[in-house]
Amino acid sequence: MSATIRYGMVGGGADAFIGDVHRQSARLDGRYDLVCGAFSSDPKISLESGLALGLPEGRCYPDYLSMIEAEAGLPESERMQCVVIVTPNHLHFPVAKAAIQAGFHVISDKPATFDLAECRELSALLESSSCQYALTHPYTAYPMIQEARERIAAGELGKIRKIFVEYTQGWLAEAIETGGQKQADWRTDPQRAGISCCMGDIGVHAFNLAEFVSGLAVDSLSAELNRIVSGRCLDDDGAALLKFSNGASGVLIASQVCTGDENDLRLRIYGDKGGLSWSQEEPNSLWLKFSDQPTQLVRTGNPWTSKSSLNGVRLPAGHPEGYIEAFANIYKNFADHLLDSALDSKPAYPGIQDALRGMAFVETVVASSEQDNAWMDIPG
Amino acid sequence: MSATIRYGMVGGGADAFIGDVHRQSARLDGRYDLVCGAFSSDPKISLESGLALGLPEGRCYPDYLSMIEAEAGLPESERMQCVVIVTPNHLHFPVAKAAIQAGFHVISDKPATFDLAECRELSALLESSSCQYALTHPYTAYPMIQEARERIAAGELGKIRKIFVEYTQGWLAEAIETGGQKQADWRTDPQRAGISCCMGDIGVHAFNLAEFVSGLAVDSLSAELNRIVSGRCLDDDGAALLKFSNGASGVLIASQVCTGDENDLRLRIYGDKGGLSWSQEEPNSLWLKFSDQPTQLVRTGNPWTSKSSLNGVRLPAGHPEGYIEAFANIYKNFADHLLDSALDSKPAYPGIQDALRGMAFVETVVASSEQDNAWMDIPG
Amino acid sequence: MSATIRYGMVGGGADAFIGDVHRQSARLDGRYDLVCGAFSSDPKISLESGLALGLPEGRCYPDYLSMIEAEAGLPESERMQCVVIVTPNHLHFPVAKAAIQAGFHVISDKPATFDLAECRELSALLESSSCQYALTHPYTAYPMIQEARERIAAGELGKIRKIFVEYTQGWLAEAIETGGQKQADWRTDPQRAGISCCMGDIGVHAFNLAEFVSGLAVDSLSAELNRIVSGRCLDDDGAALLKFSNGASGVLIASQVCTGDENDLRLRIYGDKGGLSWSQEEPNSLWLKFSDQPTQLVRTGNPWTSKSSLNGVRLPAGHPEGYIEAFANIYKNFADHLLDSALDSKPAYPGIQDALRGMAFVETVVASSEQDNAWMDIPG
Amino acid sequence: MSATIRYGMVGGGADAFIGDVHRQSARLDGRYDLVCGAFSSDPKISLESGLALGLPEGRCYPDYLSMIEAEAGLPESERMQCVVIVTPNHLHFPVAKAAIQAGFHVISDKPATFDLAECRELSALLESSSCQYALTHPYTAYPMIQEARERIAAGELGKIRKIFVEYTQGWLAEAIETGGQKQADWRTDPQRAGISCCMGDIGVHAFNLAEFVSGLAVDSLSAELNRIVSGRCLDDDGAALLKFSNGASGVLIASQVCTGDENDLRLRIYGDKGGLSWSQEEPNSLWLKFSDQPTQLVRTGNPWTSKSSLNGVRLPAGHPEGYIEAFANIYKNFADHLLDSALDSKPAYPGIQDALRGMAFVETVVASSEQDNAWMDIPG
């Protein structure tokens, strides 16, 4: 069946970055059609952006509320089925809420909401509706991350004892927000980003990855956040000691002031039988380590890798697959869930549970840091 | 301007591999619409494939000739503008010829034709038409390959002296063609693949890459081809010593029987001032080496890289871009050429000249090998 | 001048590991002669070990006290000049004390003493004597670590902001001490190892490396130590958040239960102008990272590297130099100090200050961990 | 048993490079004593060098003939037992011949002789004497090379089909011999180096490594040598196609003009069951590749590696061992052979057979290159 999903986009106009990533991801497998959008808080930019994307003028909306209202009034076979949210953080929840209340599915950029309270409200809303919700944590959609999760679930590493996860970037090593860099501007602004810059933006990806791959939950943490570049109101760096549900311990590092680092997300997990490591900048390699045999290098696309890994692969082994392919796996799996399986399969993409965990993590690291890195439980 | 190009595809049905790569590449940037196709030599499979891709039944054609004829009869605003050819090798030329004669642009999978004579005919045909032609040599479209070419052109390595290029795979290490593996079946069959398997399939990519990056032409070569797996009629392995137009020498290695190798295309070029190396399996890293200063690691997407490199980048540095992105760069640049520049710009994609060089290379390596690796000139 | 230094060894018999490393290091440059030893607490093993090393029976002593006494009674031109201490930890101080009181120089394996109090006593003793003292922190003697220190001292990374240092091994992932593995046996025994296993054995190397390369002191820390393998009385794993004297922050990780890891000591330091990274398992590569230019790979032995780096190099670039070579650099620099420079040069090897810092670090991490990772100052 | 071997050195004075490598290698394990030397063709430099090395004036000889004569006249318990030859190439044979005729064992730097005829004479001489002979091909003494050989011998890769070996350096990319660089001076001089510079200096190491690891002999080759830097009389670059005794084919590359390369010796071998790769600049890692399972990374020093690999290991896994350690393995194994095994064991070091193969290789590549890379058999 070749059915595609019609989607409308909120945000993602002109000089945005992540909007284009979503559109490319939606296009890659031919499972989505962009049919409308409210691409900017400036109606003029929204219209220009929509026209440039080939939309008819009538479906380039000045704001998301009018988009949702107008689309809801269209015949079922024409109207959008899904809203993609790629605005700054503070708008994620209001848009998602309006969309769900009007009966539209939602794909939201992360974080799901501005804070945990909103996220719980969103969760309740979803429970009482039949709308589906995907949150774009793309790193978990890399084939070798799926493979890592499968290996641990199968017990290949034994009982998990240690988890190190780190995400370091260098792009905020200088105060580029004062020079008008748009991404830096809103991410360092508490009004639009929320209570955290670094932990909310990238620490939460590291947290999500650690929980996803290990299959364990972080119970409590002790965190220290820093504002390294002077003038910042939000953290641009931090670290946390972690305690997991099974007694394992770990360390999470996130920083945006590591000069010269690009997007260095790394994960290492050790059990009593073996260890693994993975690095986002070489995502098609997964290392499995043992004390009594050679280290194994597992590579994306080999036919002997796991089914859930191969599900996210488009090419034979040796043809590098990258970030957009991982991102597109979320779109593909969301489409599969909506269209092919009558919604009775288990969603193979991040959703509201990941959202709740992430928001709880961010609130807990901030609270712990404010209390001299006291140990704090992550609210369930 | 958001105009897209309507294309029809020949080949690429059901169990084909490269057809899907082309479709993904065409989709990624939203610059193409698939409007019709003749996806298989079996009309039933063609129809099923087309329907699965969302085409109306009427534009799923039983063969390429009827597709070209029917599309030519449609109104200009509806008919396809471009034919994408993804059949086995022996059909590349007949399809391209028919398409061009009917006034359609062509994107062809490599090799352009079955032999050099056909390629010259194709070249002549293009010269006398206004149709544009792209040949998918995707490796040259990686950002770091563009960067490498720019650096050499700017003289950073000095006068080029040595070029080593190699492309090793392991997928034909066993006689899988006898077990019905479709890709292996036609690639090892002289009737469909041409006079060479390994050199025609991957050696030619290595050759193209070496000439593209160095900006030099190979004048002559001494080659030895091998049929390592018993029962094969065509080479599955080979090597050639190379002489370049400026006096530089080199070595080209290609093999499909390197057990355990995936898609290991590597290039090293040395001049009297510096050297560079690049590996396809880690395509976002380019190494520049010098005798009097540290080795430099240039990474995809950094703002200080060259304009032609950044032209092929969709993400900030550190977000891996892979094979499909490189492939899509050819599609994007072809679209730019057709739509945005009134055809007066220099094409930024491989075309008929690359095709002629490649076919001449393949014929010369085979001839040299048949004469006990005698040195032979590559016909101009 | 070819003068060599006559040394006696305490410990390092039969099945010891580190004794042989010291002897190889002493031999490599031909600057030392082993003239006597008390190689074991068992006089019979001591004698056998000494004979096997080519010593005359009369200089194979049953214990270190008799060795020191007997050697002190020999003519000056014959008697040992220096004592090398390679016993389990609890004997380091008593042997060093006796040696210094008898007027012998000392090269001691790390840690210098059993606890900080002893170390202060040792420091006072050294101040009131003319004996020289070297502590074998070999990792700081790698050429690329010397290079890293020089680069930071020269301001190439700007003001230092972040330091990540980690040292992970897997050899204690199982309770091998219960099976008679001698190294594991005494290192996990509080009577012989001191108050810490993991932090005292390897965490202190990480700490020393971070301070040495950055040129900064750790002021305070918040640490959590774990006893992961059941039955252990001492930590086999831990992590600490660090505050440096200039306001920089950092994270130190040490673990001996990272299954499959060998000897994975890594250092990353970031300043406001650039960052660096280094890994002990590939010690001849130093990475310098910047936001506005390519990453630089500096390699051991290149003539454009720093003088202090080249001082520790024995081969042209590209000939790997390893752990023993680094270790031997300490021996070589100690010999240079004793023989060539009339003791007026600055020692180019780790000494009593490193010892004091290391013991203070170990006591502080243990204390912080016992108080729920409270922040604690490292005593000066 | 702690017996050591007394050796005299010919060559290796002041500004020589390789003499010091031999002395360090002899020292590392405490199995050798330097007792005399003729360190330079200049008697004054010889004397100064010997004194600096701690020798008595009476055993610092003005030339190798007087050294051999004088030492032969000393009591057996005092005189040298072995001559180490580290002169320029043209003197290797005369010194070895004189030493053997006087009854001394020989350790010779490579190449064994100036040409193949001399080498055959040397071989005959050794057969008729009881002297032992070692040739320092250090790369085969790396633990992971021993491991690779064992794995292939055990059939883990199946029948060997392809061998790629390459050795690239950049140090002769400029005409440094004209500026007085001593190493470059004699290596590019046919009177002292022989008929080849690059192939004789490093190509022969690549050849030796390929034969040693594969356990196969090269039967014939087709080679092209180049003189890339103008003014040179000998090759500074070259490549050869290889045919092995079992039908396998291969490519050998050697170059000294690869600007920015250090000492990049790499080996890849593929059989019908698996492949392996190894790189000298990261010598403690051996990669084993398969089509149906993960790539395996085998690391030096792990207890599950082969006995012949562990024989060359001095440290636990994760402590890098380098070039001098490999070099010292030849010295250690030579000492074991002389002292511990009554000469009835199989020598575990390179010897006269390696010498004969190497000289035959060099003569054949030069001859093939002079005849337009005609295929030529390597004389047995």
pTM over 0.95: yes
Beta carbons of C228 and A162 less than 8 Å apart: yes
**pLDDT given for residue D342 in this prediction:** 59
Pick among B289, B297, B300, B305 to test the C interface (most C CBs inside 10 A): B297
Preferred mutation among D181, D315, D321 to probe C, highest tally of C CBs within 10 A = D315
- 3-state class (DSSP) for residue A240: strand
pLDDT score recorded for residue B3: 78
The region, left, alpha or beta by phi > 0 then psi within -120 to 50, assigned to residue B359 is alpha
Instruction: Tell me the C-alpha distance between C32 and D113, whole Å.
Output: 35
Most B CBs within 10 Å, among D222, D251, D369, to test the B interface: D251
Task: Look at residue C343 in the predicted model and tell me its pLDDT.
Answer: 59
Show contacts of B46-54: CB within 8 Å, 24+ apart: B46/B13, B48/B13, B48/B14, B49/B12, B49/B13, B49/B14, B51/A2, B52/A1, B52/A2, B53/A2, B53/A30, B53/B23, B54/A2, B54/A4, B54/A30
Calculate mean pLDDT across residues B298-316.
96
Contacts of B235 (CB under 8 A, 6+ apart): B196, B197, B198, B199, B225, B226, B227, B366, B369
Torsion (CA) D280, D285, D287, D288 in degrees, nearest 10: 120
Using one digit for the tens of pLDDT, what is the confidence trace for A90-115? 999 999 999 999 999 999 999 999 99
Residues of B in contact with C304 (CB under 8 A): 292-293
What is the model's pLDDT at position A241? 98
pLDDT at B234 over 70: yes
Of C347, C350, C285, the C-alpha closest to C318 is: C285
Question: Is residue A330 helix, strand or coil?
Answer: helix
Q: Which residues of B touch A1 (CB under 8 A)?
A: 52
End-to-end CA distance of chain D: 40
Distance of CA B296 to the CA centre of its chain: 28
Instruction: Give every CB contact of residue C33 below 8 A, 6+ residues apart in sequence.
Output: C4, C5, C6, C7
D225 at the B interface (CB within 8 A)? no
- Whether the pLDDT of residue B1 is over 60: the answer is no
For position A1, what pLDDT does the model report?
40
Contact A320 B317 (CB under 8 A): no
Q: How much is the CA Rg of chain A, to the nearest whole Å?
A: 21
Q: What is the pLDDT of residues A120-171, one digit of tens each?
A: 999 999 999 999 999 999 999 999 999 999 999 999 999 999 999 999 999 9
Query: C: neighbours with 3+ CB pairs under 8 Å?
Result: A, B, D
* Band of pLDDT at residue A292, cut at 50, 70 and 90: very high
Closest CA to A109 of A363, A332, A355, A361: A355
| Percent of chain B whose predicted confidence (pLDDT) is above 90 | 92
SS3 B259: coil
Q: D7-29 burial by CB neighbour count: b if 16+ within 10 A, else e?
A: bbbbbbbeebebbbbbbbbbbbb
Query: So what's the ipTM on this one?
Result: 0.95
**Contacts of D22 by beta carbon, 8 Å cutoff, 6+ apart:** D9, D12, D84, D86, D107, D109, D136, D327, D331
DSSP 8-state symbol, C90: G
Q: Is D318 on the interface with C (CB under 8 A)?
A: yes
Q: Do A54 and B171 touch (CB under 8 A)?
A: no
Identity of the residue numbered D257: V
D 231-270 residues with CB below 8 A of B?
237, 239, 241, 249, 251, 253, 255, 257-261, 268, 270
Degrees, nearest 5: CA angle D30-D32-D33 = 110
Nearest Cα residue to A321 out of A354, A292, A296, A285 = A285
pLDDT at D87: 94
Amino acid identity for residue B122 in this structure:
L
Length of chain C as a residue count: 380
Check pLDDT > 80 for residue C14.
Answer: no
Give the lowest-confidence range in A172-181, C139-148, D27-36. Answer: A172-181
What is the b/e burial string over D48-72, where b = at least 16 CB atoms within 10 angstroms of the residue's CB?
bbbeebebeeebbbebbeebbebbe
C76 CA: distance to closest CA in chain A (Å): 50
Collect all residues with Cβ–Cβ distance below 8 Å to A55 and sequence separation of at least 6: A34, A35, A36, A37
pLDDT tens, position by position, B82-123: 999 999 899 999 999 999 999 999 999 999 999 999 999 999
**CB contact A15 to D (< 8 Å):** no
In sign, the C-alpha dihedral spanning A111, A113, A115, A118 is: negative
Q: What is the dihedral angle through the alpha carbons of B106, B112, B114, B118, rounded to the nearest 10 degrees?
A: 70
Confidence of residue A380 (pLDDT cuts 50, 70, 90): confident
Order the strands of the D5-11 sheet from edge to edge. Answer: D32-38, D5-11, D82-86, D105-108, D133-135
The pLDDT value given to residue D341: 57
Chain D residue with the nearest C-alpha to that of C34: D30
**Which chain C residues in 112-171 lie under 8 Å from chain A, judged by CB atoms?**
157-158, 161-162, 164, 166, 170-171
Indicate the range of B266-275, B334-343, C267-276, D142-151 predicted with least confidence.
B334-343
Q: What number of H helices and E strands is found in chain A? A: 13, 14
Residue-level pLDDT at D17:
80
* Alpha carbon separation from D282 to A63, A290, A295, B69, C283 (Å, rounded): 58, 20, 16, 61, 10
Between A292, A294, A304, which is nearest D297 by CB?
A294
- In this complex, do D162 and B251 lie within 8 Å of one another by their Cβ atoms? no
Lookup result for tokens 């593929």: D270
Q: Is it the case that residue A2 has pLDDT exceeding 60?
A: no
Report pLDDT for C209: 98
Residues in A touching B266 (Cβ below 8 Å): none
* Alpha helices for D110-259 (secondary structure H): 116-127, 143-153, 182-187, 190-193, 198, 204-214
Option in B241, B258, B295 nearest D239 (CB): B241
How far is Cα A353 from Cα A211, in angstroms, rounded to an integer? 12
* Tally: H helices and E strands in chain B: 13, 14
The distance of Cα A188 from the centroid of its chain, to the nearest Å, equals 19
Q: How far is B121 from chain A (nearest CA, A)?
A: 33
**pLDDT, tens digit (0-9, with 9 covering 90-100), for C55-102:** 999 999 999 999 999 999 999 999 999 999 999 899 999 999 999 999
Closest CA of chain A from C231, distance in Å: 15
Question: Cα–Cα distance between D39 and D275 in angstroms, integer?
Answer: 45
- Whether A34 shows a pLDDT value over 70: the answer reads yes
Place of tokens 């369930």: A380
- Assess whether pLDDT exceeds 90 at residue C176: yes
* pLDDT above 60 (res D2): no
User: pLDDT at residue B303 above 50?
Assistant: yes
Q: Which residues on neighbouring strands pair with residue B33, listed in sequence order?
A: B6
The pLDDT of residue B343 is above 70: no
How near does any CA of chain C get to the CA of D200, in Å? 19
Q: What is the distance in angstroms between the Cα of B298 and the nearest Cα belonging to chain C?
A: 5
D2 → closest Cβ in C53, C281, C316: C53
Burial of A345 (0-12, 13-18, 19+ CB in 10 A): exposed
> Stretch B247-263: mean pLDDT, rounded?
98
How far lies B287's CA from each of A257, B268, B297, B326, D259, in Å? 25, 9, 5, 19, 12
pLDDT at C344: 63
H or E stretch at A203: none
HSE (CB half, 13 Å, CA atoms) of A200? 26
- pLDDT over threshold 60, residue C1: no
User: What is the rounded average pLDDT for all residues in chain B?
Assistant: 95
Q: A111: closest CA among A326, A354, A376?
A: A354
Q: How many CB pairs under 8 A join C and D?
A: 112
**CA distances for C380 relative to A44, B357, C87, C216, angstroms:** 64, 72, 27, 13
Q: Which of A222, A253, A270 is facing C258, going by the closest CB pair?
A: A270
**D296 has a pLDDT exceeding 60:** yes
Q: How confident is the model at residue C303 (pLDDT cuts 50, 70, 90)?
A: very high
What values do phi and psi take at A199, rounded to 5?
Answer: -70, -35
User: How is residue B187 written in tokens?
Assistant: 């690639």
Which value, in Å, is the radius of gyration of the alpha carbons in chain B? 21
**How far, CA to CA in Å, does B333 sit from each of A122, B25, B106, B138, B349?**
43, 12, 14, 12, 6
Tell me the per-residue pLDDT of B192-226, one tens digit each, with 9 for 90 and over: 889 999 999 999 999 999 999 999 999 999 999 99
Task: Please state, in angstroms and rounded to a whole number, the distance separating the CA atoms of residues D187 and B83.
Answer: 60
* pLDDT bucket at C342, cuts 50 / 70 / 90: low
Pick from C258, C270, C288: CB nearest A257: C270
B chain contacts of residue A322, beta-carbon cutoff 8 Å: 319-322, 325
Phi and psi for B34 in degrees, rounded to 5?
Answer: -80, 120
Q: Which of B228, B257, B274 sits opposite D260 (nearest CB)?
A: B274
Which subunits count as partners of chain B given 3+ CB pairs below 8 Å?
A, C, D
